Amino acid sequence: MSRVLNNRGYISEATRKKVYKAMEELNYQPNELARSLYRRKSNLIGVLIPSVSHPFFGQLTYYIEYYAHEAGYKILLCNSGQDSVKEKEYIDMLKRHQVDGIIMGSHTLDVEQYANINLPIVAIDRHLSDDIPYISSDNYHGGVLATELLLKKGCKKVAHISGPLILNTPANNRYKAFKDVVTKENVEHFVVETKLNKFEIDEYIRLGTELLEAHPDIDGIFASSDMIAAAIINVARILNKKIPEELKVVGYDDIELAALIVPPLTTIRQPIKEIAKKAIELILDQVDGKKVATENILPITLIERETT
Amino acid sequence: MSRVLNNRGYISEATRKKVYKAMEELNYQPNELARSLYRRKSNLIGVLIPSVSHPFFGQLTYYIEYYAHEAGYKILLCNSGQDSVKEKEYIDMLKRHQVDGIIMGSHTLDVEQYANINLPIVAIDRHLSDDIPYISSDNYHGGVLATELLLKKGCKKVAHISGPLILNTPANNRYKAFKDVVTKENVEHFVVETKLNKFEIDEYIRLGTELLEAHPDIDGIFASSDMIAAAIINVARILNKKIPEELKVVGYDDIELAALIVPPLTTIRQPIKEIAKKAIELILDQVDGKKVATENILPITLIERETT
A120 and A264, same domain (yes or no): no
When scoring B7, B13, B40, B52 by the number of chain A Cβ atoms within 10 A, the one with the most, hence best to mutate, is: B52
B196 and B74, same domain (yes or no): no
User: Helices B55-70 and B226-238: crossing angle, nearest 10°?
Assistant: 150
CA distance B103 to B281: 11
Hey, CA dihedral for B67, B71, B74, B76, is it positive or negative? Answer: negative
A119 and A167, same domain (yes or no): no
Per-residue model confidence as pLDDT tens digits over B43-59: 999 999 999 999 999 99
A216 and A260, same domain (yes or no): yes
Per-residue model confidence as pLDDT tens digits over A253-305: 999 889 888 899 999 999 999 999 999 999 999 999 999 999 999 999 999 99
Say yes or no to pLDDT of B14 above 90. no
A239 and A129, same domain (yes or no): no
- Helix, strand or coil, per DSSP, at residue A66: helix
B176 φ, ψ to 5°? -60, -40
CA distance B228 to B249: 10
Identify the CA nearest to A89 among candidates A97, B279, B61.
A97
CA distance A92 to B294: 37
Q: Does A158 touch chain B (CB under 8 A)?
A: no
CA distance A303 to A265: 8
Contact at 8 Å (CB) between B232 and A233?
A: no
* Per-residue model confidence (pLDDT) at position A26: 52
Identify the CA nearest to B190 among candidates B206, B202, B178, B200.
B178
CB-CB under 8 Å, B26 with A23: no
Identify the CA nearest to B59 among candidates A83, B51, B205.
B51
A152 and A245, same domain (yes or no): yes
When scoring A3, A10, A62 by the number of chain B Cβ atoms within 10 A, the one with the most, hence best to mutate, is: A62
CA distance A109 to A120: 17
B132 and B243, same domain (yes or no): no
* Per-residue model confidence (pLDDT) at position B1: 40
DSSP character for A157? E
Contact at 8 Å (CB) between A176 and A208?
A: no
If you average pLDDT over residues B5-12, what whole number do you get? Answer: 47
* Per-residue model confidence (pLDDT) at position B246: 98
B248 and B166, same domain (yes or no): yes
* Per-residue model confidence (pLDDT) at position B34: 64
String of b and e for A199-208 (b: at least 16 CB within 10 Å)? Answer: bebeebbebb
CA distance B172 to A183: 57
B141 φ, ψ to 5°? -60, -40
* Per-residue model confidence (pLDDT) at position A218: 98
Three-state helix/strand/coil letters over chain B: CHHHHHCCCCCCHHHHHHHHHHHHHCCCCCCHHHHHHHHCCCCEEEEEECCCCCHHHHHHHHHHHHHHHHCCCEEEEEECCCCHHHHHHHHHHHHHCCCCEEEECCCCCCHHHHHCCCCCEEEECCCCECCECEEEECHHHHHHHHHHHHHHCCCCEEEEEECCCCCCCCCHHHHHHHHHHHHHHCCEEEEEECCCCCCCHHHHHHHHHHHHHHCCCCCEEEECCHHHHHHHHHHHHHCCCCCCCCCEEEEEECCHHHHHCCCCCEEEECCHHHHHHHHHHHHHHHHCCCCCCCEEEECCEEECCCCC
Percentage of chain B modeled with pLDDT above 70: 86
* Per-residue model confidence (pLDDT) at position A193: 92
Q: Which domain holds residue B190?
A: 139-269
Task: Count the neighbouring beta carbons within 10 Å of the beta carbon of residue B239.
Answer: 14
A162 and A240, same domain (yes or no): yes
Residues 185-204 of B with CB under 8 A from A: 201
Identify the CA nearest to A101 among candidates A290, A272, A298, A271.
A290
B82 and B230, same domain (yes or no): no
Which secondary structure element, helix H or strand E, spans residue A220, and what is its range?
strand A220-223
Per-residue model confidence as pLDDT tens digits over B129-155: 888 999 999 999 999 999 999 999 999
Say which residue, A270 or B85, is predicted with more confidence: A270
Identify the CA nearest to B232 among candidates B175, B185, B246, B154.
B246
Shortest Cα–Cα distance, B19 to chain A (Å):
7
* Per-residue model confidence (pLDDT) at position B289: 94
B14 and B132, same domain (yes or no): yes
- Helix, strand or coil, per DSSP, at residue A45: strand
* A126 belongs to a structural domain: yes
Hey, CA dihedral for A89, A90, A95, A96, is it positive or negative? Answer: positive
* Per-residue model confidence (pLDDT) at position B154: 97
* B306 belongs to a structural domain: no
B109 and B131, same domain (yes or no): yes
If you average pLDDT over residues B174-192, what whole number do you get? Answer: 97
Say yes or no to pLDDT of B167 above 80. no
* A95 belongs to a structural domain: yes
Q: B101-104 and B121-124 as β-strands: parallel, antiparallel, unpaired?
A: parallel
* B20 belongs to a structural domain: yes
Task: Count the neighbouring beta carbons within 10 Å of the beta carbon of residue A144.
Answer: 21
* A85 belongs to a structural domain: yes
Residue A68 corresponds to which amino acid?
A
CB-CB under 8 Å, B79 with A74: no
By mean pLDDT, which of B164-178, B212-226, B229-243 is the weakest?
B164-178
Total structural domains within chain A: 2
* Per-residue model confidence (pLDDT) at position B165: 85
* A307 belongs to a structural domain: no
User: Helices A226-238 and A201-214: crossing angle, nearest 10°?
Assistant: 50
Q: Does B263 touch chain A (CB under 8 A)?
A: yes
What average pLDDT does chain B have?
88
Query: Chain B residues with CB inside 8 Å of A5's CB?
Result: 31, 33
CB-CB under 8 Å, A231 with B260: yes
Q: Does B70 touch chain A (CB under 8 A)?
A: no
Strand partners, B250: B222, B266
If you average pLDDT over residues B189-208, what whole number do you get? Answer: 83
By mean pLDDT, which of A143-147, B99-103, B124-128 is the weakest?
B124-128
* pLDDT-flagged residues of chain A (< 70): 1-13, 15-40, 196-199
If you average pLDDT over residues B168-185, what whole number do you get? Answer: 94
The model's confidence at residue B63, banded by pLDDT at 50, 70 and 90, is very high
Check which CATH number belongs to the domain holding B250 and give it.
Answer: 3.40.50.2300
Q: Does B270 touch chain A (CB under 8 A)?
A: no
* A21 belongs to a structural domain: yes
CA distance A65 to A45: 9
* A237 belongs to a structural domain: yes
Task: Count the neighbouring beta carbons within 10 Å of the beta carbon of residue A115.
Answer: 14
CB-CB under 8 Å, A36 with B33: yes
Cβ neighbours for A89, distance < 8 A, ≥ 6 positions apart: none
